[in-house]
Amino acid sequence: PAPLAAPHLEIDPESVRATLAALGLDAAAAPVAFCPGAEYGPAKRWPAAHFAELARRLAEADFPVWLIGSAKDAPLGVEIEQLSSGACRNLCGRTDLAQAIDLLSSARLVVSNDSGLMHVAAALRRPLVALYGSSSPSYTPPLSQRARILNLGLECSPCFKRECPLGHFKCLNDLSPAMVLAAAKEALS
């Protein structure tokens, strides 16, 4: 039923400080947080090279970028960090869920695939750019007025598949870093 109630998470400032200190992060950083994972599969994951390009562009504008995700996302985080030439800090697999929530609460902006952490960012009321490929924001939207949803609305999407049945992943591959950067700038203004 619509409208759906927007979830809200309360944050303990002391917990946030402890998490930042435990990870050696600057409390004043106000990073852009990327959530590059998606448990469902590759058809919900924006390409690592695209995340890396976006990280480079944000770093050029003096925005620190943190990658946040589970231990399963750690290899993806390493790949993005390497492709970005170190323009981001990989924290994937270095936190538990409570610490990931603390980190997201510190972000000035979150860029995320359609994932659990996207919904956490929405509940934290952080400015959010939500990326959709094989899934649909009609079914699993971020419940936040501060979210900008990006999807290409291709004829073949949403297909709701884990892998692209056509083998091209155009729904995410063609969602360019420039398009996401424009939405990010809009969200940051």
- For the stretch 156-182, pLDDT in tens is 888 788 887 888 889 899 999 999 999
Residue 156 has a pLDDT of 86
Quick: pLDDT tens for 28-85.
889 999 999 987 777 788 999 999 999 999 999 999 999 999 999 999 999 999 999 9
Residue position matching structure tokens 């297909």:
159
Burial track 10-25 (b if 16+ CB lie within 10 A, e otherwise)? eeeeeebeebbeeeeb
Say if CB 133 and CB 43 are below 8 A apart. yes
CB 169 within 8 A of CB 42: yes
